[in-house]
Structure 1
Amino acid sequence: MFLPAVLALFVLPLNAAKAASQGAAGDALQTVFRDGAPGFNSFSGLYLQMTLAIVALSVVLKVFRTIQEGRNNEPLEGMSHAANWATLLLLSSLELFYALAMGKDAAWFCNPYKAGWLWFIPGFVIFAWVVYNQLMCLANILADLQHHSQAEFSWKPGLYSWVGGLVCLVICQFFYQPGMPAVMGLIFLAQLVQAGVIFKNAAPAGGLAQAIIFILVYLIGTFAMAFLLIHFSAMLVFAAVAAIAFMVLGSGDGSYTVKKRERPKEKCPYCGASKNMDGTYNCTCLYVRRKAFKD
């Protein structure tokens, strides 16, 4: 009984991911990534307001992180702790809503044709800061939740599975696209296992409410973080290509002056001095003395 259950646990998510990537479900998924989800994409006109709200919530998270760093990274307590994880949960939920609403235009602020050539570089820098800040805050908040749950376990394998899975997805995208459903299934399976580990350890020690909060923050936070990293990796590729292009363009001497062609002048065969219009040379070498002696 145990072996079939284990096999089913591994096979069912893979088959579900494979089925979702093919047929009508696969077309619907591609439509969501391209045009946004039905019902959500009607809010795409609020892209600027949602973007500013994401930045504002990121600043609030930075404030909590600064407070925690001032306390030598000791866990936050009471209302500060609750406000911290609630802010992250709100930010992550807004980012997922934003992704479903915007589709492929989610990173519009890094597109010079949409944000403008003067704003897309600041947009890229701000986006990079949001990614880094949210990653650090997510790690801190998960550590605080584990502290308050009074349980000893590790939630890092779930995060590592995201990193490894995203790398494998990128590799499959370029070299073996049929393997992408299997990778997505393994990522989904890893998150289910991690959520089960959190519940199993946090619920008995910290209570059911603490375990549910922990799972919600972990799942929503990591899914939103994965969304940010996917878009940030695309922006990094764009930045690398742009940097290489600038290096290639700047490798020349920058001189495009067309020199006027001049008729080569006759020179003295002995010292290389130029020949004058009257047939004499601007030199006092042996050739001049020989010519004078002959004359």
Structure 2
Amino acid sequence: MKHFIFIIILLSSCLLVTAQKKYEVTTNTFLNIRSYASTEAPVIGTIDDGGEVDVYEISNGWAKISYNDGFAYVSSQYLRESISNEVVSKKKNSNFKFDVSSLTFGNGGVEWMVFAIAGISVILLIIRKRRGDDPLEGTEYSINWILFLTVSILELVYISLMGSDAIWFCIPDKVGWLWTIIDFIIFGFVVYNQIMCYFNTLVDVEYNSGGGFDKRWGLYSWAGGVITAILSGIFFPTALPFILIAFVICQLIQIVLIFKGTLSYGGVGNAFLCTAVYLLGSLASILILAHFVVLLIIVLVAYFILSIIGKTSSSRGCCRSCSHYSGGYCNYHGMYISSPDSKTCDYYR
């Protein structure tokens, strides 16, 4: 079981999610759409004033947009971010207060799912602690898989609708620093609990179906598929369609193995239940873990930078009155000071 968890963690750290944001056109007439980022590029279409476009990135005055199932470019000078991208009001005071009523519910009004997901995770944690080493049975088993599928569906819907704003609850500008820290800890708990509940629930439904199936095809293909897709995207972009086909085939094999192992013992209902827990659970677990890993990397990088700044600032300055200063020599820095009468070391001035 531990090697499965390692695979999921490895997979999530490699998962790349393309973020989009909506922008509104602000010209008086229309905005030209070009095939590449240059005024010399052919015009392949136009967008009227007030129209909206999905922007992937903005660089050197050009915005990369979604156009006809592909990509195109428009001048970013005539774009402004659509108000539909706003999730939470930025008017927060300095007392670290977070007011739930400040939510704007701009992305389909799904921000409430964060609280629902956290609440269900607490219930799943209680069931997991009561579970022990033996698979669940009876009423508790039914409650567990229902809650697990519910929270997995909520997570998939929430992430698909919120996009790049999915982790708004860990952004200081939106909720304040205190709630950012608290929410980060809660987020970590939800992610860890999700992974543990996924493997437990998968074992439970397999046991209660009366059959058994090999999980390696599905779980290993997640890791292998994403890693090879990233490497292929960097070195061999033309191989991406073949990698996708191979990944889909591996997932279909996993579904066949689930049905083959459970159909004759537990019937069609249990076969579909095992398949739903595997597919929805794995996808939801990987997506939320990917979001958390990205956030964790940002936190670690920030901590590393701050620690370097702290060490640099703490090493500067040497007062004549300090205990480590004597006869023009600084014992703390291990060097002579050029001007013993100065209060601070000239070298660090």
TM bucket, shorter chain: 0.5 to 0.7
- 2:290 is the counterpart of 1:230: yes
The question of whether the paired residues in 1 share the 8 Å contact of 2:108 and 2:161 is answered with no
- 1:67 corresponds, among 127, 130, 136, to 130
List per-residue Cα deviations over 1:109-151 (Å, max 9, x = no partner): 2222223222212222211111110100010111111111222
Alignment of 1:1-295 (within 5 A): 24-25=68-69, 44=107, 46-69=109-132, 73-171=133-231, 180-252=240-312, 254=314, 257=317
Which one has a larger percent strand, Structure 1 or Structure 2?
A: 2
Distance in 1 of aligned mates of 2:238 and 2:179: 38
What TM-score, normalized by structure 2, do the two folds share? 0.58
Distance in 1 of aligned mates of 2:106 and 2:265: 42
The 1:150/1:233 distance shift into structure 2, 3 A limit, reads same
Unaligned runs of 5+ in 2: 1-65, 72-83, 86-104, 321-327, 329-349
The 1:25/1:151 distance shift into structure 2, 3 A limit, reads farther
Unaligned runs of 5+ in 1: 1-21, 28-33, 36-41, 266-295
SS of structure 2 residue aligned to 1:154: coil
Which one has a larger percent helix, Structure 1 or Structure 2?
A: 1
Write the letter of the residue equivalent to 1:49.
Answer: W
List per-residue Cα deviations over 1:142-183 (Å, max 9, x = no partner): 111111122232224312322333444555566666655544
Distance in 1 of aligned mates of 2:223 and 2:175: 30
Distance in 1 of aligned mates of 2:249 and 2:205: 23
What TM-score, normalized by structure 1, do the two folds share? 0.67
Distance in 2 of aligned mates of 1:189 and 1:90: 27
Identical positions, percent: 36
How many residues end up aligned between the 2 structures? 228
Moved more, 46-55 or 196-205: 46-55
The 1:240/1:149 distance shift into structure 2, 3 A limit, reads same
Structure whose alpha-carbon radius of gyration is higher: 1
Distance in 1 of aligned mates of 2:208 and 2:317: 71
